[in-house]
Amino acid sequence: MAGVSKGAAGEVLAARFLREKGYEILTANFRCRFGEIDIIATKKPYIAFVEVKTRSEDALFAPREAVTIDKQRRIIKTAMLYIQNTNIDLQPRFDVIEIVTRKNRPMEIVEIDHIQGAFDLGDLYAVF
């Protein structure tokens, strides 16, 4: 996978990780007018809307730090639209998978952390 981007590699690794943990991947890179969700997966009783953040081991900041409040709001809006347009009766959860890879080797994992419930709806009025 020479020339693969860190982000694309991270999403492939995260999907593999989730499948190994018993999740069913419904879709990847779901886009709408509000934004994008990297992975949408289910494992009863949850539907997980997963943001994947990948950094190399020499990065200055943890991958999760890139999931800003603004990014969270876009993900929540996108997730709500997805739920409205599908027949899913599961509890929504917003997760972050952070992946640290070897420098210059985006498919070689140093560390992977699945942060379940990394953020939540909080005050709905602030989102909409």
124 lies in a domain? no
- What confidence score (pLDDT) does residue 3 get? 55
* pLDDT for position 85: 93
Which of these, 102, 104, 3, 116, lies nearest to 51 by C-alpha position?
116
Residue 125 belongs to a domain = no
Query: What digits encode the pLDDT tens for the residues 25-79?
Result: 999 999 999 999 999 999 999 999 999 998 888 888 888 888 999 999 999 999 9
Does residue 19 belong to any structural domain of this protein?
yes
Looking at the predicted structure, is the pLDDT value of residue 5 above 90? no
| CATH code of the domain containing 104 | 3.40.1350.10
Residue 1 belongs to a domain: no
User: Per the domain annotation, does 22 fall within a domain?
Assistant: yes
What total number of domains does the chain contain? 1
Claim: this prediction has a pTM higher than 0.85: yes
Specify the DSSP element, H or E, that contains 100: strand 91-102
Residue 126 maps to a domain = no
Token pair 């997760």: residue: 95
